[in-house]
Structure 1
Amino acid sequence: MIDDRHHDKPATSRREPEGTATLSAWPEADGWVCNVLVRRGDRLLVLRRAPGGYLGDQWDVPGGKSEPGEEPAVAALRELTEETGLVGELGPEVAHWSNPDTKGGDFRYHIVTFEAFIPGDDADAAAAANAGEAPEAREAVETPEVTLTREHSDYLWATPEELAELPLAWHVGRVLGQ
């Protein structure tokens, strides 16, 4: 479920080309938001935004704004570590959208989402073992402990069934196709 109580998906958003390797190859933008999808087996790491802030009480993925001149991939991994304490390795880019500012500012920003992997991750083997299994028959997948900042109030390694019921931030639902 996408939660749009506070910020509707901008009507003038557009899908951008994917697969560019460096900032110099990316389209012009006023700002970048760089996110990561971290999976363990069939579970996706989601973070609940703290109440009262931007997208408060909605479930999001690790990510945030890039620093001036910072490559999107570097920003995505930095944000993963800052927001969760996890150190990841970058996987492929999975989505790239551009939007006007959701807070009403007069600028356009890009949201790029990458897959990220936690080193030593045995989730691929678990995912293969779980393929086609009913949720109750799936093998347990070990999930690492996450250390939250004040920006988030909770985290969950959510199954697809749980994701369908959570109030997801609009941009997460868009990437996941919900």
Structure 2
Amino acid sequence: MTEIAHKHLAYCWIARGDEVLFLRRRPGVFLADRWELPGGTVEPGEAFEATAVREVAEETGLRVRVTGELARDSWPDVAGRAMRIHACVYTVDEDGLGAVVLNPEEHDDFAWLTPAQARDLPLPDHFRRLLDR
């Protein structure tokens, strides 16, 4: 029997008014040209909330603090590996309204969009499910 690995992800729902921050993955990376919320992989021993805050700072330069949990989701690995992905999306408040400064190794564009506008983007399924709830 194949043992299933588990990968944990934490994302942030950063809202300014009715708009939410979405990032586009750059060419050459996993899920290239797809749009996503800021976030990433939980490191061993790291709390999910700490991951969310760290990833936002690394990917956008913004400083945030977690205010709540918006959603949880799980799915099989899209690359076909024996792995189950678990993600949590957190609501956050920004520490000031800073400018978005992308990490060019991960993303090449960003947009502040309403959830309705974001539905038109090429999104991974787990973000589409979040918008459709």
1:51 equivalenced with 2:27 (yes/no): yes
**1:27-83 deviation per Cα after TM superposition (whole angstroms, max 9, x unaligned):** xx7220111110000010000110232111111100110100111111111111110
Report if the CA contact (8 A) 2:73-2:126 is conserved: no
Alignment counterpart, residue 46 of structure 2, candidates 55, 70, 75? 70
Select the residue among 96, 117, 125 that pairs with 1:170.
Answer: 125
Q: TM-score, normalised by structure 1?
A: 0.67
Q: TM-score, normalised by structure 2?
A: 0.88
Q: Which one has the bigger strand percentage?
A: 2
1:101-116 correspondence to structure 2 within 5 Å: 101-116=77-92
Q: Does 1:93 align with 2:69?
A: yes
Instruction: Give, in angstroms, the shift of residue 107 of structure 1.
Output: 2.1
CA 1:120–1:145 in structure 2 vs 1: closer, same or farther (change >3 Å)? closer
The alpha-carbon deviation at position 93 of structure 1 amounts to 0.6
Unaligned runs of 5+ in 1: 1-28, 122-143
Amino acid corresponding to residue 41 of structure 2 in structure 1: K
Partner AA of 1:145 in structure 2: A
- Aligned residue pairs total 128
- CA shift at 1:161, angstroms? 4.2
Could you give the per-residue CA deviations for residues 107-158 of structure 1, whole angstroms, max 9, x where no partner exists?
222111111110246xxxxxxxxxxxxxxxxxxxxxx411111210100111
Q: Deviations over 1:78-111 (max 9, x none)?
A: 1111100001010211111122222221122211
CA RMSD of aligned residues (A): 1.7
Q: Specify the SS of the correspondent of 1:147.
A: coil
State whether structure 2 residue 99 is matched by structure 1 residue 145.
yes
The runs of at least 4 aligned residues of structure 1 exceeding 6 Å deviation read none
Larger radius of gyration: 1
